[in-house]
Amino acid sequence: MMKFILKFLQRQPTCPNCDQKLPTKPIRKQACPHCGKFIFARNGALVTHDEAMIIDWLARLEIFGIARKDFDIYMSELSKQFGSQASVTDTLWRILNQLVRRSARDAHMLEQVYREMAGLASSEGRDPTAFLIEAERIRGRRLNISATSPERIALGDDELKYVRQLRKNGNLEKAEELLLKAYPSPAVLDELRKIASARAKIARKNKDWQAVVQHLEGYTDYATQWWDYCLQTVNQEPPLHTESDLKLLREARARLAGSVDT
Ligand SMILES: [Zn+2]
């Protein structure tokens, strides 16, 4: 009996995508050596990308009273309507849209639903701004701050991930546009710092020393402007330029001084 239990416990792990045996049990996201698809670990079990996404989102939707059985019902209803298997994202959008209707009388809930919509849009690589503005509007009305357009929006982890992806894809303008609309938390400022750094490097390649100084000093000015805000809100100073960016700034200033002399 004991032997049997041990054998059961030591059962070789299999890929949740292709069902083939794995040499070791992955403890985090890993590609399957057989099918190449990603394997995720959640609560000690190996699951597919879709299943991991469902588990992660159900944890977020729990406060709205959405459980696994609700998700499954929404998914099968949507699949029937589509005439083909609905995706996890389609199902999540359907649920969030239903929650907007259901939360119409509860401003606090409604604000949270819009923030989750921003998170879902961001995770799909789509601009979350409209949802974030709506969330701030509702918050403003709820707290009697303002009834019109909000001054700034709050970026969460999903939105920051989206911005990071924009920057990595070289879409610096769009990333910056969103960051400048956001509350200048240290995380937001750090992204702006990286954009300034990327722009300074491009300017150096073009030997545009004036632009190098402008980009790097531009960030310093913005960070200085929000220094007290960061200390007051999260008791953390805004991130500073890296050593290599400071070196580049000194070089650019020296070059400019040199060109003035000649
Ligand atoms: Zn596999």
- Structural domain including 240 reads 195-262
Do residues 113 and 160 share a domain?
A: yes
Do residues 213 and 179 share a domain?
A: no
Whether 57 maps to a domain, the answer reads yes
pLDDT digits (tens, 9 = 90+) for 227-250: 999 999 999 999 999 999 999 999
Whether 163 maps to a domain, the answer reads yes
The Å distance, Cα 56 to ligand 1 centre, comes to 21
Distance CA 179, CA 156 (A): 11
The Å distance, Cα 30 to ligand 1 centre, comes to 10
The Å distance, Cα 175 to ligand 1 centre, comes to 36
User: What is the predicted pLDDT for the residue at 71?
Assistant: 98
Whether 94 maps to a domain, the answer reads no
Task: Among 136, 161, 183, identify where a domain stops.
Answer: 183
**Residue 262 above 50 pLDDT?**
no
Do residues 200 and 178 share a domain?
A: no
| Claim: this prediction has a pTM higher than 0.85 | yes
Do residues 173 and 201 share a domain?
A: no
Whether 11 maps to a domain, the answer reads no
Do residues 112 and 161 share a domain?
A: yes
User: What is the predicted pLDDT for the residue at 7?
Assistant: 53
What does the block give as tokens for 111? 């604000």
pLDDT digits (tens, 9 = 90+) for 201-227: 999 999 999 999 999 999 999 999 999
Do residues 109 and 174 share a domain?
A: yes
Mean of the per-residue pLDDT values of the chain? 93
Whether 98 maps to a domain, the answer reads no
Whether 188 maps to a domain, the answer reads no
Do residues 107 and 177 share a domain?
A: yes
Do residues 235 and 173 share a domain?
A: no
Whether 6 maps to a domain, the answer reads no
What does the block give as tokens for 120? 């879902």
**Contact (Cβ atoms closer than 8 angstroms) between residue 163 and residue 175:** yes
pLDDT digits (tens, 9 = 90+) for 140-176: 888 887 656 678 999 999 999 999 999 999 999 999 9
Name the residues around ion ligand 1, CB cutoff 5 A: 15, 17-18, 32, 34-35
User: What is the predicted pLDDT for the residue at 143?
Assistant: 86
The Å distance, Cα 17 to ligand 1 centre, comes to 5
Per the structure, the count of domains in the chain is 3
pLDDT digits (tens, 9 = 90+) for 80-115: 999 999 999 999 999 999 999 999 899 999 999 999
Q: DSSP letters of 79-140?
A: HHHHTSPPPHHHHHHHHHHHHHHHTTT-HHHHHHHHHHHHHHHHHTT---HHHHHHHHHHHH
User: What is the predicted pLDDT for the residue at 168?
Assistant: 95
Whether 210 maps to a domain, the answer reads yes
